[in-house]
Amino acid sequence: MTTPLAVLGLAERQALRSAAQWYARLSSGQGSAAEQARWQQWHNADPLHREAWQQVEAVQQMIARVPGELGAPVLQHTGETRRRVLQQLLMLAGVGVVGWNGWHSDWRASLMASYRTRVGEQRQVLLTDGSRVLLDSQSALDVSFDNAQRVLHLLSGRVLVETAADPLGRPLRVDVAQGQVEALGTRFTVQVEAQFCEVAVLESAVLVRPAATAGSLRVNAGEQVRFDANALGQPWNSDITAASWRTGSLIAIERPLADLLDELARYRHGWLRCDPAIAGLKISGAFPLHDIDLALAALHSGFGLRIVRRTDYWVTVLPA
């Protein structure tokens, strides 16, 4: 059962409403530099503000995924209508029904996880059975071992798992919201998103089982697959880019600019987007993940793109 708005904490409700108002003002394109500076002060003032801002961005992404014939009228309304639409969506999808409650529960769970990483941080963990896990930026992992099984609960983010042989013969699996990934003596990555999970196998194989179906799929070394709770996608051949993040560099081969920026945004605070006119621009190269400013400088020098910083937390990539 979800928690009704009336019983949520006052600070939680106010943070989310303020975030919605800030987003509506800044996304209207009419925000001044002074107003952007005030937003940054608000954003930095309280961890709850930052978490609320992430929720607003999630709602904005949900709007973007609405089919074109439905989404276009929403996205093309005036600023005032857009503000009302966003606030109503936050009430329905974010506060009163599932969004805030689910997101806030996930946030609490992540804070209580066995292992977690901050924005831009990667962390290597040696588990009690000798297995190794590398947590990527903004990841949270719970570990649950008993006499019968070894379970890693990936709550958010992305991990690289390198399994060790277990004297007790216990299976090792990664549980995500969408299902399970069972290791078959292997090395693999698991990335969990709101709507799907993606697995890339570097050595040996894994078994993937969606949560709501009885089927499973063996994914072998050199393959990737994406799945949700109801269905398995078709595996495809992976390449050098599949797990390049583990080395601290993001390797891109003909990758759309918008996708590349979404990936880089995992490693920095704030807003990082590009002009829609160049969202599909194909980018190839290696970009450092521990210095996103250097990565953006490479986009400027290598592709002639303009990097516009309204604030340190609001960066837009524009055509030359």
Write the DSSP assignment of 91-149 as a string of letters: IIIIISSSHHHHHHHHHHHHHTSSEE--TT--EEEE-TTS-EEEE-TT-EEEEEE-SS-
- Does residue 42 surpass a pLDDT of 80? yes
CA distance 302 to 320: 11
**pLDDT computed for residue 58 by the predictor:** 61
How many residues would you count in the chain? 320
CA torsion through residues 73, 79, 84, 85, sign: positive
The bridge status of strand 115-116 relative to strand 140-145 is antiparallel
More confident call, 260 vs 83: 260
Q: How confident is the model at residue 230 (pLDDT cuts 50, 70, 90)?
A: very high
CA distance 198 to 190: 6
The bridge status of strand 150-162 relative to strand 172-176 is parallel
In this prediction, what percent of the chain has a pLDDT beyond 90? 56
More confident call, 204 vs 80: 204
- The separation between the first and the last C-alpha atoms of the chain, rounded to the nearest angstrom, is 51
**pLDDT computed for residue 101 by the predictor:** 47
73-87, 181-195, 251-265, 287-301, range with the lowest pLDDT: 73-87
CB atoms within 10 A of CB 319: 12
230 contacts 243 by C-beta, under 8 angstroms: no
**pLDDT computed for residue 78 by the predictor:** 43
- Does residue 79 surpass a pLDDT of 50? no
Long-range residue pairs from 279-286, CB within 8 A, at least 24 positions apart, any chain = 280/256, 281/256, 281/257, 282/254, 282/255, 282/256, 282/257, 283/252, 283/254, 283/255, 283/256, 283/257, 284/252, 284/253, 284/254, 284/255, 285/251, 285/252, 286/244, 286/249, 286/250, 286/251, 286/252
**pLDDT computed for residue 27 by the predictor:** 67
pTM of the model: 0.69
CA distance 197 to 170: 24
- Does residue 73 surpass a pLDDT of 50? no
Quick one: average pLDDT of 306-319? 91
- Does residue 81 surpass a pLDDT of 60? no
pLDDT in tens, 49-63: 887 777 776 655 544
C-alpha 140: how far from chain center: 12
In this prediction, what percent of the chain has a pLDDT beyond 70? 77
Per DSSP, the three-state class of 20 is helix
2-16, 127-141, 152-166, range with the lowest pLDDT: 2-16
- Does residue 168 surpass a pLDDT of 70? yes
CA distance 294 to 88: 39
- Does residue 41 surpass a pLDDT of 80? yes
29-43, 111-125, 264-278, range with the lowest pLDDT: 29-43
Q: How confident is the model at residue 226 (pLDDT cuts 50, 70, 90)?
A: very high
